[in-house]
Structure 1
Amino acid sequence: MSTDGVEIPAKRGLLTIAGAVLALAGIIAGYGFISRAQSKQEVVDWTSQQTTATVSLASFIPTPPNQILTLPGNVQPFNKAAIYARVNGYLKSWEHDIGTPVHAGQALANIDAPDLDQQLSQAKATLASVRANLQIANLTASRNNVLLQKQIVAQQLADQTDADAKAKEAVVDANEANVKQLEAMQSFKTLAAPFDGIVTARNVEIGMLISSGGAGQPLFEVSDLHKVRIYVQVPQSFSAGLKQGMAATFEMPQYPGVQFDATLSHISKSINSTSHSMQVELQANNADGKFFGGAYCNVHFQIPSDPNHLRLPSTALVVNDKGAQVAILDANNKVVLKSVQLGRDFGDSVEILAGLTASDRVVNNPPETLANGDLVQIAAAPASS
């Protein structure tokens, strides 16, 4: 058997194996190049994602038909009168203490006024004297008129006696008026309640020196509490929603969890230039006597909402040297900072009067570094449970 036939197949096998090895090496090298290119692109994509801010969108808060406005109120009696003395003297007695119900005209206290009594006695004596003088003057004038008819006295004398009688009559009228005035002053020695109510203050004691006039502390205070008035200072921004006759409720700290009804009765229609608020008055029935003058309360108004106004979470606002702004996204997810006009502040949300539409996409909690034209990506919404 010849050896040449055996060597030729062996060489061909070696060439085939070598070609396979080279092909495998080429495949491995190509795969490496492709893997490195893909890894490089992934790094580029990851880096781009890391440099693009991720933001979440704020949702517009539905506006209810009515907004509840809560403001502090000051409760006052429906009527309140401070009782002062009209005469000088000393307190003789007082009849009713604080908390006592009284009726109109009922005596509260009595004043001993010796000076007034003396003035009245003197005025009466003077009146009696001038009346006597008037009587004599009338008799003299009458006699002279008779003698004048008999031509015994001159016309001048008769005229003088008539004039003297009329002058003395005028003096009598003046003294009668003086006596009536002092008698009227005598009635002020008794301090009386001006209307049905409750004695809410007594600042007198027996024997105290009493001076007439309205200076200083009142002697008594009487309050009509069958109804109460509640005074509230309403900020100017809320004043347009108030209407006379509007129903409201109020709460008092001594009755926790209990709401009472009131009605808006009067609107001052005047804005205070210092506080930029308007005073309004509410009235509430107090048949149970639960409300007292000077009490504090929280009043709740139902203010109609404007359907054209939007509400956003307060966290969506950007406040800078340009005022209040919000960051919205355009169609390419690029940031646009827009100035807005703010309305009422509800604490966790604010009212937007102008500058936004309901279709705008507003960024919530925008980063401080966010600027116009920045490209951002929107965070995925959390899955609902």
Structure 2
Amino acid sequence: MDQQIKQAQAAIDQANSSVQQAEAAVQQARSNENLARVTAERWANLLKRGVVSRQDNDTAQMQYEAQQSNVQALEKAVAAGRSNSSAAQANLARLNQLQEYLTVRAPFAGVITVRNVDSGVLVNEGNTLLFRIAQTDRLRTYLNVPQVDAQAVRVGQAAFLTIPDLPGRKFNGTVARTANALDPATRTLLVEVQVPNSSGALMPGEYAQVDLSVPRSDPPLLIPGDTLVVRSDGPQVAVVNPDGTVHFKLIQLGRDFGDRLEVLSGLEEGQQVAVNPSDAIREGVTVKPATAAKRP
């Protein structure tokens, strides 16, 4: 590519030199044309006075016409030379543009996370992934919000991210945009949350939990995850009656929030349930309830 650019630059220099020579020749031809014109006018005046013969006058007139034709021919040569120079400059611009393709420029500042090529590798146009770059100063995370909560999600709404590997830390985020339509397969709304990451504590690709506080007109009943008892006849919880007796009740579960479970039916608000019921907790036994420690 460098050799082709040098050849193109040499072609431009040669074309410009030819144009300069042609322009100098035009100037000389115009001078000769002016001299031939003055001479032809003089011979025409002398012919009117009868001092010179008609043949001598015709010779002077023909020399003037020849000089005019020579000027026109040289002017066309100058135009052709300028055209050649423009074509050479366009070729050089094309080569310079092609040379710019040798440098891969990212559309934004970031960190290269994947490199699939090395020096000397053949790259095919359009089907080779060269690099993957991540913009880490602001990260995006996507979550699917159930249909029952979709109406309450708004752009600009606050969200909080927690990372299992970074206990005790919360990262503030904001709802940037939504799909504005539910997925017909899952009946969920795709939501994008953007999180500032100027400190670089978060890394692209990490697993995160998003806490998107959405007010609900009919909030669900939640129980701790360690109160669930799974048996062959279905999920159950050990309910402690007011008299201290234990009664296992079948429940219908909703969503799983990790440390909490949504109960759709089978329980009522205010009922007490046993946490981590052991094998000693059986139907009808009497226990002494104790308040569990509050979760952080």
What TM-score does the superposition give when structure 2 sets the normalisation length?
0.56
Distance in 2 between the 1:178 and 1:304 partners? Answer: 65
Q: Report how far residue 187 of structure 1 moved.
A: 4.9
Instruction: Count residues with an aligned counterpart.
Output: 203
Bigger shift: 241-250 or 150-159? 150-159
Point out which structure has higher relative CO (alpha carbons under 8 A, 6+ apart).
1
Q: Which residue of 2 aligns with 1:199?
A: 112
Question: Match for 1:178: what amino acid?
Answer: N
| Percent of pairs with identical residues | 24
Aligned to 2:12: 127
Whether the aligned pair in 1 keeps the contact of 2:175 and 2:194 (CA below 8 Å) is yes
The structure with the largest strand share of the pair is 1
Hey, what's the Cα distance between the residues in 2 that align with 1:180 and 1:202? Answer: 31
Q: Indicate conservation of the 8 Å contact 2:141/2:194, yes or no.
A: yes
Match of 1:301 among 208, 212, 226: 212
Q: Deviation at 1:299? A: 1.5
Candidates 221, 246, 269, aligned match of 2:132: 221
Counterpart for residue 268 of structure 2 = none
Superposition deviation, residue 139 in structure 1: 2.6
With over 3 angstroms needed to count, the CA separation of the structure-2 counterparts of 1:261 and 1:134, relative to structure 1, is same
Runs of 4+ with >6 A deviation: 310-313
Q: Secondary structure at the match of 1:245?
A: coil
Is residue 125 of structure 2 the alignment partner of residue 209 of structure 1?
A: no
Question: How far off is 1:225 after superposition?
Answer: 1.0
Residue 228 of structure 1: CA displacement?
1.0
Match of 1:39 in 2: none
1:208-237 per-position Cα deviation (integer Å, ceiling 9, x unaligned):
23436442121x333221221112233444
Any gaps of 5 or more consecutive residues in structure 2? 38-63, 223-253, 256-261, 266-287, 290-296
Residue 305 of structure 1, CA deviation = 1.6
Q: CA RMSD in A?
A: 3.4
Aligned to 1:252: 163
Match of 1:174 in 2: 87
Please give the alpha-carbon distance, in whole angstroms, between the structure 2 residues aligned to 1:265 and 1:159.
69
**1:280 equivalent in structure 2:** 191
SS of aligned partner of 1:222: strand
Partner of 1:117: 2
> Deviation string for 1:338-360 (max 9, x for gaps)?
xxxxxxx554127xxxxxxxxxx
SS in 1 for 2:151: helix
Aligned to 2:77: 164
Give the AA of the match of 2:7.
Answer: Q
1:148 has 2:60 as partner: no
Q: Structure 1 length normalisation: TM-score?
A: 0.45
Larger Rg belongs to: 1
Counterparts of 1:311 and 1:198, CA distance in 2: 43
Q: Which runs of 5+ in 1 are unaligned?
A: 1-115, 314-344, 351-383
User: 1:129-175 CA deviation, whole Å, 9 max, x = no partner?
Assistant: 22232223323333333333334235454334323312321221221
Q: Secondary structure at the match of 1:278?
A: strand
